[in-house]
Amino acid sequence: MRRALSAAVLCGATLVASTASRADPQGPAGGLAGSGAPGPAADKARRAATVVTIGSRVITVGELEDRLAALPPFQRATFGADAATVRSAFLQQVIVPEGLYAQSAAAQKLDQTPPTAFEVERAVSNATLRAIRAKLGPESAIPTADVQAYYDAHRDRYDTPERYQVWRILCKTEDEAKGVIAEAQKNLDIKQFGDLARQHSIDKASNMRAGNLGFLSPDGTSNEPGLKVDPAIVRAAQGVRDGQLVPAPVPEGDGFSVVWRHGTIPANKRSVDDVAAQIRDTLWKARVKEETDKLVASLRASKLKDYTESPLFDLPKTLGDDTTGGPVRHD
């Protein structure tokens, strides 16, 4: 393998040297273009010229140019001080070894072994996703009009009113609520209020969590999913400071509530400029998902065949379905 590598490197160095003698050493990215300005046909022919052949693999001028152009300047500089040296060193140190390893892998049919085949398939899959992202362009390319439209449609996310963390005990009668208030004021803390909520609150959805309703907006909507209370509860909480009980029971439906204002989140008003980067990120991810879903749906319709999961239920335990607690075997 080493002898083959040395021979190919020497061959590559000779070919590169002969090419470099005809090239402009100051070409862009250490490229192989001549000092003149060839027309499209001549440039195409130049790029198609062979630099080195490794087994069945042909490395062209264009491929070498493209690989070099993809390197940042500081990395190209590690291969030499001038363009000719960079080209020669890059071919000898990178391109030729890669080609030799690939030829050896093909001879051993490594691409057909499960671990390698899986990695190749994953690499191709990831390349497809990268192509979708490249097609969409960067987040910064999303127009300002699209950002503004999203902001306007989701204004409640960026322009929120003051919200109040409220704990509440819903009692059956006003007298019971007055008694709970008197008891709570003796030692107002989370444990005491929680004990009273479990004993007295008829709201079974909250009495086991000490009556915690979450943070309430002025319309009674909570940050807890699906929870909304009578706005009168919020208005009552607005009349006291954080950490205080509302001094009198608050009518709520057929009952009366003991209301404890536990904390406050200030109003939050963010302009479209404040959240533009966040919105662009959200829109870009949504568009990537949309394009990916469309591609998968199209490929499923045209490529997916004979799909049935029933045979999977008959797989032996040696393939991973070991419920005995013992080691899983794969022999």
The string of DSSP codes covering 57-97 is EEEEHHHHHHHHHTS-HHHHGGG-SSHHHHHHHHIIIIIHH
Judge whether residue 36 has pLDDT over 60: no
> How many domains does the chain contain in total?
3
pLDDT band at residue 205 using 50, 70 and 90 as cut-offs: confident
Residues 131 and 178 both lie in one domain: no
Residues 6 and 102 in one domain: yes
Residues 124 and 259 reside in one and the same domain: no
Task: Please give the share of the chain, as a percent, with pLDDT higher than 90.
Answer: 64
Give yes or no: residues 94 and 18 share one domain. Answer: yes
Which has more confidence, 120 or 149? 149
Report the b/e string of 75-95 with b at 16+ CB within 10 A. ebeebeeebbebbbbbbbeeb
Please state the pTM of the whole predicted model. 0.52
User: What pLDDT is stored for residue 116 in this prediction?
Assistant: 86
- The reported pLDDT for the residue numbered 2 is 41
The answer to whether 214 and 223 have CB atoms below 8 angstroms apart is: yes
Q: Are 315 and 321 in contact (CB under 8 A)?
A: yes
Q: Are 229 and 216 within one domain?
A: yes
Give me the sign of the Cα torsion angle 207, 201, 165, 261. Answer: negative
Nearest-angstrom CA–CA distance, 138 and 280: 9
DSSP label at 7? H
Backbone angles phi and psi of 60, in degrees to 5: -100, 165
Asked if 174 and 254 sit in the same domain, the reply is yes
Task: Write the single-letter amino acid at 119.
Answer: E
Instruction: Looking at the structure, tell me whether residues 170 and 249 fall in a common domain.
Output: yes
166 and 154, same structural domain? no
Same domain, 97 and 119: no
Q: Helix (H) and strand (E) counts for the chain?
A: 13, 8
Q: Percent of the chain having pLDDT more than 70? A: 83
> Where does the pLDDT of residue 37 fall: very low under 50, low under 70, confident under 90, or very high at 90 and above?
low
- Which residues does 321 contact at the CB level (< 8 Å), separation at least 6? 315
- Name the 3-class secondary structure at 180: helix
25 & 96 share domain: yes
Q: How far apart are CA 150 and CA 275, in angstroms?
A: 11
Residue 191 sits at φ, ψ, to 5 deg, of: -65, -45
Q: Is the pLDDT of residue 5 over 60?
A: no
* pLDDT(234) > 90: yes
DSSP state of 38: -
CA–CA gap between residue 201 and residue 172 (Å, rounded): 8
Overall average pLDDT of the 35-61 stretch: 86
Quote the pLDDT of residue 317.
63
Residues spanned by the domain of 81? 2-108
Task: Give the number of C-alpha atoms closer than 13 A to the C-alpha of residue 200, restricted to the C-beta side.
Answer: 27
Mean pLDDT across 21-45:
59
The pLDDT of 195-208, averaged and rounded, is 91
DSSP conformational letter for 329: P
Q: Is 200 inside a domain boundary? A: yes
